[in-house]
Structure 1
Amino acid sequence: MTTTDENDIATRLAAVRQRIRDAELTYGREPGSVALLAVSKRQPVSALRTALAEGQHAFGENYLQEGADKREALAAEAIEWHFVGAIQSNKTRAVAEGFDWVHTVDRLKIARRLSEQRPEGLPPLQCCLQVNVSGEASKSGAEPAAVRELAHAIAALPNIRLRGLMTLPEAVSEFDAQRAAFRRLREQQAELIDDGLALDTLSMGMSNDLEAAVAEGATMVRLGTAVFGPRPEKQP
């Protein structure tokens, strides 16, 4: 029998997919051009199984041990695992060995370690360069002025593939202000493409600014509570 939680996740997932389709239509995007990354931080394995049953196969994790436990529990499933948490130097090996994508590369040192530590036999680690478009001191991400040089250096590394840019801008409620932040990322990526980099991913947009991100060219939106509901309390 389907539980209430399973019904809730199925309902939320359907609603999120409809929001994405509506935004694609409203802003002249190709249908299906915006992918959904379900951010499953602190959600139980059962919640991921429910989303899987509804056709969701890309999941984002913020914590290495939690991600490792889920990968082990769901090893038989066809899942694309994305790391979306902050990366310190002592975390790069676990990211390189266990994930398909990483969205939070913001320093060349981290990119080099990921490249060096990616195991032979695995495909290249798909990477996004995180950019601090709003200039917030509390946020991770490369400074916009440093992005061009950094992107070219990362793109030249073996064992990883730079796919595009990612941002987590300042939280604002006004739609035009949301769009302005995402526009800065889109324009920066366009400059890199003009420089000859083969980039195809803009990872931007969350529950409160999904539509603004799609309007400005997002190819992947990262949603957590909109899919799974409130996160369980973090265990001490």
Structure 2
Amino acid sequence: MTWDATDLAAVAALSDELRRSLYDYVRRAGRAVTRDEAAQSAGISRKLAAFHLDKLVDAGLLSTRYAHPAGLRRVGRTPKVYEPSALDVQVAIPGREHGLLAELLVDAVLSEGPDETAEQAARRLAAERGRELGRAERGAPRGGRLGPERALTCAQHALERHGFEPFRDRPTRVRLRNCPFHPLAARAPELVCGINHAFLSGLLAGLDAPAVRATLAPAPGRCCVELDAGDDAPRATAAEPS
């Protein structure tokens, strides 16, 4: 599994109770606050408040500038003020891609064609997103299609970043220990697994790897799709991307 260093730093910064209290105060203030205000809210010294506020800045949770807060007298030098940053922190163990699934479903409703259902539109969009990922992973054209070994390796690298936890159980097959769309996949397996299969099929298409197939192979404790380059790999008949 790969980790986003920025998200981890933010979570680590908030592990301290006093720091969480200061961060909550800044978010609830609805305006930029000074060190003195933050210190007063927590009942601590200005120096200690500054130390923790700057740690939150280092973690990307707060941003700083110099300004006189609204409603306060403008006396002396312009103070340093703190306000929430635009950082959106999401940490999930194991990895989840609920945001990707939500984007696909929303886009499907908005772009549903006259001759397709929202589910069909979601599979079409998932395949397109997968192809984009595959092309980006492959990089510039290298003169010809990828062989099965190279294609599976590229697919593994891409899927590691999306929380699938891929592993090679034999030279020609990659299985996925984690379903990034769980527990939603358990609530609507036909819908979510179909979208997932279209996404992974699109990934292989983007890699230009026709020798490798994304097949539906649901099993307890792992993703419902596997990537197989073996001659005896079953060919899926459902959830094919358009």
TM-score range, shorter chain: under 0.3
Larger Rg, first or second structure (1 or 2): 2
Structure of higher RCO (CA pairs closer than 8 Å, 6+ residues apart)? 1
Whichever structure has more strand as a proportion of its residues is: 1
